[in-house]
Amino acid sequence: MQEEKEVLALLSKLDIDNINFNDSPPEDAKQSVHLVASEGLEAYLPLADMVDISAEVERLTKCLSKMQTEYEGLKARLSSPKFIEKAHEDIVRSVQEKAAEAEEKINLTKHRLDFLKSTVVLS
């Protein structure tokens, strides 16, 4: 098992002293990122040791606010009859695509925030 640990540390560039093999998930599994490498091989990376959760929540919250402002601007353009009538259809399509991408990014960011807030006690 030591040999596998050394190989894993080398390939993942992790500190060998922080790699542990267990038969069951760690107690803080809900506060970790869970990765399934293959059948029977799962990894748990503790968020608290890798990321300043409070700072990440703050960063994502600011980012979300900016994305929502951008999205609202795109939707306002698309809801304007003058824009739809006067703009070339390629431009309208481009704005629609940007709005769809912005909406997807907003949803992903909201899910990340919800995950961070629900699994980790913020200080």
Q: Given 1.10.3470, 1.10.287, 1.20.120, 3.30.70, which CATH number is that of 53-119?
A: 1.10.287
Chain mean position to CA 62: 14
Handedness of CA 24, 26, 28, 29 (dihedral sign): negative
Q: Which of 74, 117, 67 is nearest to 97 (CA)?
A: 74
| In the chain, where the domains are located | 2-50, 53-119
Q: How confident is the model at residue 11 (pLDDT cuts 50, 70, 90)?
A: confident
User: What is the per-residue pLDDT across 42-86, written as a single tens digit (0 to 9) for each?
Assistant: 777 777 666 777 888 899 999 999 999 999 999 999 999 999 999
Q: Residue 120: what pLDDT?
A: 60
CA distance 59 to 109: 11
Grouping H, G, I as helix, E, B as strand and the rest as coil, residue 4 is helix
